Amino acid sequence: MFFRKRIDLRPSVWYNTRMKKYTYTQNNSGGYFDEVEWSGHDDRGGVDGFNVWVLALTAVEANALAEAYAGVYFDGVQRGLDCNCCGDRWYKQMDY
């Protein structure tokens, strides 16, 4: 007897049901907040005030999307972009 493997022809449904929401909140580095704007072409992220949210399968994917579409950057103190007494403006998300 042969069994046929069931194939889901809707990969977007599988993908969307397993995504998590990652939120990036700004640290008030240097005494001000940066205005951010989501420039992505889809609904996988957005801006809520000065904060950014991203829908992704993993934190690594979310970090990449936030950098690419919202201008989020990491390690700002080390790169000379943020005040060293206040700390980095943005922090990477991690899966635990």
Residue 48 half-sphere exposure toward CB, CA atoms < 13 A:
8
User: Of the candidates 96, 89, 32, which has an alpha carbon nearest to the alpha carbon of residue 66?
Assistant: 89
Structural domain contains residue 15: no
Order the strands of the 45-48 sheet from edge to edge: 20-24, 51-56, 45-48
User: Quick one: pLDDT band at residue 9, thresholds 50, 70, 90?
Assistant: very low
Structural domain contains residue 2: no
Structural domain contains residue 13: no
Considering its fold, how many domains does the chain have in total? 1
Q: Tell me which residue range forms the domain holding 87.
A: 21-96
pLDDT, tens digit, 9 for 90 and up, residues 19-65: 899 999 999 888 888 888 888 767 788 898 889 999 999 999 999 99
pLDDT, tens digit, 9 for 90 and up, residues 76-91: 999 999 988 999 999 9
Structural domain contains residue 76: yes
Structural domain contains residue 11: no
Task: Provide the pLDDT for residue 48.
Answer: 85
User: Quick one: pLDDT band at residue 5, thresholds 50, 70, 90?
Assistant: low
Structural domain contains residue 1: no
